[in-house]
């Protein structure tokens, strides 16, 4: 499964969409429990009104790194500072 994390943009065909960090973590855990493969997590950074539910999407990277669960990540955010921070985190932790 591919996961699309974004509070505004439409979910592309072939993805399951989430709008918050908490919702994304819940979906990841459900998929893992079922033994379903997570092919990709595609992240926005700024989750607008949904940030109250776990913060901005970089927190998903924090969660995955803490667990040492390194799913493939793509970033589609328009926020250049958020993108740079997320890319640094991926470069530091992802194998």
Model confidence over 55-95: pLDDT tens digits? 999 999 999 999 999 999 999 999 999 999 999 999 999 99
> What stretches of the chain adopt beta strand conformation (E)?
2-5, 15-18, 40-43, 73-75
The DSSP H or E segment spanning 21 is helix 21-34
Q: What is the pLDDT of residue 64?
A: 98
State which H helix or E strand residue 52 sits in: none
What is the distance between the alpha carbons of residues 43 and 75, in angstroms, rounded to a whole number? 5
Quote the pTM value.
0.96
Q: How confident is the model at residue 2 (pLDDT cuts 50, 70, 90)?
A: very high
């Amino acid at each position: 499964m591919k996961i699309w994390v974004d509070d505004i943009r439409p979910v592309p065909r072939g993805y399951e969409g989430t709008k918050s960090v908490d919702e994304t973590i819940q979906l990841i855990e459900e998929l893992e429990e079922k033994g379903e493969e997570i092919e990709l997590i595609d992240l926005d950074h700024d989750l607008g009104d949904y940030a109250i539910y776990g913060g901005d999407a970089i927190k998903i990277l924090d969660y995955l790194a803490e667990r040492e669960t390194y799913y493939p990540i793509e970033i589609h955010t328009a926020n250049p500072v958020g993108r740079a921070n997320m890319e640094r985190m991926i470069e530091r932790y992802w194998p």
